[in-house]
């Protein structure tokens, strides 16, 4: 059985659903999931399908070629097709904060994440012991302001060598360089410790405390060149009150960061997200 | 039985709780609620008490005088004392949006709000019929950019004539003038249709939609001269997704606005809020 | 322009989506909304569509006839088709509690509910003045244990006379008789003041308080003969703690009841709910 | 500096607060936290204090003796006093589920939990490798229906040998024996994978799915002899819909279980919970 996920977006036109479902029917495929969305403002059509093909003799690459030739080109589609048996390969970028790293590696070990994690990259050595505990190779890539280019080169080399599909910044605390962002467009997930767009930039819990908010949040988003301005994947919040100090905000926030980042990783790994016009379509 | 609410704040010092509770004990009073908070950063002590005195011969004004002389002056307290039998008198300022007005008047009629509503003030006549339905006097105070001063004068006159204790801007859509803000410091409650400090100013739902957030919110706050920057009383949120249009945001937001404003009114009317350093202490 | 909503469910089979969308294409219709769901356990297919037909000469009844003959009969569908211009007619059943009534009538007057409310029915006269304020005819149908049958007859007569499509029990506090339930299957919406299935039956807030829960809830559901066992439409919750008394639970619960019932009314009125196997499919 | 936490409950009487705060004043102590609660229905007074004493020559045991003699005995108090420097010692009981174990050990390693974890006890060997990763001694205590008594004896011996203060059942899936419950009254924390009291007993996610709920929950509570009936410490919920299968419920529930159990452990470890009449007072 070949299990396939298909993501499509294109200008909204008549006949798209019929064409795509017919294509799958012609392969004697069985659609197990179908959802679509039309952005009426921008007139863009989005679709996500999962289907199964029992005939193993039809090569996956052939299916892709046929789809491009017979369907996608006709409708001017941008599309991606995935073999569900191939787990996406995820790189973890960390710095000194350990709570998101523990959470992700715990979930990974418990079999909860549909990914491979071939490496952890860090500009500090602090979290190496955690990587060791979970038997994940840890790569120390230090850099200073002056050696950023060299660091970027090493990072790119690692990403390539380990055939990384997407990157997760688990409280990485560093700005990813434009070259990496360009190469991994909509494939780098960051967790920001505020309810974006409120409290962009550094020290959001301190800013939230100062403003006297009654609710704090966390936001996972794809990284773009504009800091904290990328497409939002998921957000969540928790209540605070006058009795809570900045330290309480930070501690409560850790739980938000963990859960909001984990949800984003799951959504991305299951190919449930699409990006358009700096917004996400998140199929459920 | 005299039922009294007492709010205090002052520099944190030893012996405050003992002094205040002794004062009440000397009146043969029975404390039915006591809560306090210390802002350790600013070293400020806050306390809220409710107590009952069965002796009706001790005049409320005498109790207040004694408290000032014997307790408050010693500790340098700022304090307020309220006879619970006297409901605070609340003015509603509205413009054209009716959903918050309906909600407040419905709750008021159902006996859910511990207030008197002697008047509704509006710069438009649109909502007069709603006021009529609930038998609340409706005062039409129109003004243009050029007649703002005259409008302010009429508003102030109404507020004074009806002995108003606090003002609720139920989607009033106008900026309250500095003179009124000064006279009703921490006594004007606004509802802003976003999760402040995100999306200050006009059209927050449109801005939230454009940013692609996954959660929208509403915020009730005391009005200060800085627009949307006053002390936050209450916030709440609801989830949105790519399937929701700006119109959906607005419709979902109406429920948030209703509930967040109603909660703020209740908290203020029960004297459960204190303001310090542009933040609120909200006793529960 | 004819705006039409179509709800379908049937055994899951190949070709349903294609058949339905082709049917609409043949009418030169434009699909503005399409969502489907497959219950894989029970192998049942659900679909909801909205579409527009600019040709006003094709009578709505003819479309329905064609759909039955050409599509529905082939797939063994159960289906409903609605002209969106015809608002569903809703009867409100109330007793003595006024908060849900105020909320619904406020929303109705504010144009937020896509319904007509031709009458309010009550076994008490207490809420007549509220009905009067909103100019809704109020019908007093009293009954005792012994005159239940007579009361039921009067209710049925009113429902028929006013061509009621669905009934909302706004804290009605009475058990609806089996004959009415049978006639309005999946068309009677109740609000239960607990997080069902916890705390079924009377006095749920008291039971929740006694159990020491940290969260209370409310549940809107379609009424079936089994008390509090019908298909759930919507639920929501709020936090409580040891500081809250039963009275606090009740007051906090009022807001839950209001909002959860209002959401259910909106979903039903927009034909976004389908019932199968005592569960609901709720299209968003 | 001695940092001390004091928990008190007794019949509500006049003068308690004054007596306790004077006692601390006489030790030249500085109160850093004070909160109290009165259960007006049962007339019981609860208080929690944190205070600091700079004089290290006053032995902790002497303070306790004095408090009993001078204060507690007078008011008939039940009380506990803790030296904050001594972390409570927590035993983890697990079976085969690993997600809560990973979460707790991750938090423990990240320094987020104010506890010592000297041992993990399990009736299966499956999770030994996880314990090894985090360097926590793992004790395999197998038992069958016939050897329950022997298992209990081994468990009790371990608890005593490792001077365990409280036990956490991290999805332990076994019923704790009455003898252990009696010895660790209000000191055994369980996580139940439903919104209690809904769906008690086995397979709650399956039952919730069958009932068609729109919200699922998790509940942490102290274990009593009545299964799933003990005092609730914390609950939380998440939304589900018709698109979610039982497996989705289970996966979403894992996050709830993790977070609700972690919160309960933190509250207990910080001595913020008190139990009375099968309910908890949870100081924040």
Does residue C147 register a pLDDT over 90? no
Please check the confidence at residue C212 and state whether its pLDDT lies above 90: yes
- Average pLDDT of the residues in A73-85: 97
- Residues in contact with D221: Cβ distance below 8 Å, sequence separation at least 6, in sequence order: D189, D190, D192, D196, D228, D230, D231, D232, D233
D28 interfacial to chain B (CB closer than 8 Å): no
pLDDT, residue C186, reads 98
Cβ contacts of D11 within 8 Å, gap of 6 or more: D43, D44, D45, D75, D76
Whether chain D has a CB inside 8 Å of the CB on B243: the answer is: no
Q: What is the pLDDT of residue B88?
A: 98
Average pLDDT of span B177-188: 97
Residue C249 has pLDDT above 90, yes or no: yes
Structural domain total, chain C: 2
Alpha-carbon distances, residue C158 vs B118, C91, C123, C133, C167 (angstroms): 39, 9, 14, 21, 12
Among D67, D83, D99, the domain boundary falls at: D83
Each residue's pLDDT tens digit, B10-59: 999 988 988 998 899 999 998 889 899 999 899 999 999 999 999 989 99
Residues of chain D with C-beta less than 8 angstroms from the C-beta of A259? 255, 259
Note whether A46 and A98 are same-domain residues: no
Regarding whether D11 and D61 lie in a shared domain, the answer is yes
Predicted local distance difference test score (pLDDT) of residue C135: 96
Buried b (16+ CB within 10 A) or exposed e, C162-180: bebbbbbbbbbeeebbeeb
- Asked whether the beta carbons of D225 and D191 are under 8 A apart, the reply is no
Q: Are residues B95 and B37 in the same domain?
A: no
Please report which confidence band the pLDDT of residue B279 belongs to, taking 50, 70 and 90 as the band edges: very high
Calculate mean pLDDT across residues C6-27.
Answer: 92
| A218/A138 same-domain check | yes
Cβ–Cβ contact B226 with A under 8 A = no
| Catalytic residue of the set A66, A228, A236, A248 | A228
Q: What is the mean pLDDT of chain C?
A: 96
pLDDT of residue D233: 98
User: pLDDT-based confidence at A163, cuts 50/70/90?
Assistant: very high
Q: What are the chain A neighbours of C40 within 8 Å (beta carbons)?
A: 32
User: What is the number of alpha carbons within 13 Å of residue B188 lying toward its C-beta?
Assistant: 24
Shared domain check, C38 and C179: no
* Tens-place pLDDT, residues A89-104: 999 999 999 999 999 9
Same domain as D141, residue D40 = no
Output the pLDDT for position A126: 96
pLDDT at A143: 86
ipTM of the modeled complex: 0.95
If we measure between CA atoms, which residue out of B280, B284, B187, B271 comes closest to residue B6?
B271
- What CATH number corresponds to the domain at position C254? 3.40.50.170
What confidence score (pLDDT) does residue A38 get? Answer: 93
Share of chain B above pLDDT 90, in %: 90
CATH number of the domain where residue D37 is located? 3.30.70.260
Computed over every residue of chain B, the mean pLDDT equals 96
- What is the structure's pLDDT at B212? 97
pLDDT digits (tens, 9 = 90+) for B207-241: 999 999 999 999 999 999 999 999 999 999 999 99
- In angstroms, the CA B218 to CA B206 distance is 14
* Domain end point (choices C58, C83, C108): C83
C118 and C253 inside one domain: yes
Smallest Cβ–Cβ distance between B18 and the set D14, D18, D239 belongs to D18
Q: How far is CA A153 from CA A136, A157, A159, C4, D146, in A?
A: 22, 6, 10, 58, 64
Final residue in a domain of this structure, among D83, D100, D124: D83
CA distance A138 to A125: 9
Name B239's bridge partners.
B215
Chains that touch B (3 or more CB pairs under 8 A): A, C, D
Flag the least confident range among A126-130, C19-23, D69-73.
Answer: C19-23
Q: Which of A257-261, C43-47, C91-95, D172-176 has the lowest mean pLDDT?
A: D172-176
Considering the domain architecture, whether residues B50 and B10 belong to the same structural domain is answered as yes
Say yes or no: D76 and D167 in one domain.
no
pLDDT of residue D182: 97
- The pLDDT mean for chain A works out to 96
Residues of D in contact with C279 (CB under 8 A): 211-212, 242
What pLDDT sits at residue D146? 87
Is the domain of B15 the same as that of B73?
Answer: yes
The answer to whether residue C146 is catalytic is no
Angle ∠(D53,D284,B218) on CA atoms, nearest 5: 140
pLDDT tens digit string along D30-65?
A: 888 999 999 988 999 999 999 999 999 999 999 999
pLDDT of residue D144: 86
Whether residue B153 is found in the same domain as residue B270? yes
Compute the radius of gyration of chain D from its Cα atoms. 21
Return the pLDDT at B222: 98
The answer to whether B36 contacts chain D (CB < 8 Å) is yes
Segments forming the whole domain that contains residue A225: 89-282
Contact state of A17 with C17 under an 8 Å Cβ cutoff: yes
**Predicted local distance difference test score (pLDDT) of residue B15:** 84
The CA distances from residue D23 to D27, D76, D85, D115, in Å, are: 7, 16, 21, 29
- Is B254 found in the same domain as B118? yes
Least CB–CB distance from B112: residue in C99, C109, C130: C99
pLDDT in tens, A200-239: 999 999 999 999 999 999 999 999 999 999 999 999 999 9
Beta bridge partners of A120: A92, A138
């Amino acid at each position: 059985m070949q299990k396939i996920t298909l993501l499509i977006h294109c200008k909204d036109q008549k006949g798209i659903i019929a064409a795509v479902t017919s294509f799958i029917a012609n392969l004697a495929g069985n659609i197990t999931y179908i959802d679509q969305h039309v952005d009426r403002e921008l007139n863009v059509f989005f679709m996500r399908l999962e289907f199964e093909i029992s005939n193993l003799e039809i090569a996956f690459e052939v299916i892709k070629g046929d789809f491009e030739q017979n369907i996608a080109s006709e409708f001017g589609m941008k599309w991606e097709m995935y073999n569900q048996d191939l787990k996406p390969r995820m790189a973890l970028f960390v710095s000194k904060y350990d709570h998101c790293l523990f959470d992700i590696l715990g979930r990974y070990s418990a079999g909860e994440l549909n990914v491979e994690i071939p490496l952890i990259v860090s500009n500090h050595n602090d979290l190496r012991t955690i990587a060791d505990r979970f038997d994940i190779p840890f790569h120390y890539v230090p850099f200073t302001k002056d050696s950023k280019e060299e660091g970027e080169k090493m990072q790119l080399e690692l990403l390539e060598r380990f055939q990384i599909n997407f990157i997760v910044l688990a409280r990485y605390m560093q700005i990813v360089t434009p070259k990496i962002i360009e190469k991994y467009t909509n494939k780098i997930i960051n967790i920001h410790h505020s309810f974006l767009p409120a409290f962009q930039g550094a020290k959001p819990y301190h800013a939230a405390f100062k403003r006297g908010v009654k609710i704090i949040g966390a936001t996972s988003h794809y990284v773009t060149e504009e800091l904290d301005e990328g497409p939002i994947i998921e957000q969540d919040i928790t209540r605070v009150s006058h009795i809570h100090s900045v330290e309480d905000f930070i501690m409560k926030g850790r739980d938000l960061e963990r859960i909001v980042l984990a949800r984003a990783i799951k959504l991305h790994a299951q190919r449930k997200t699409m990006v358009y016009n700096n917004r996400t379509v998140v199929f459920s």
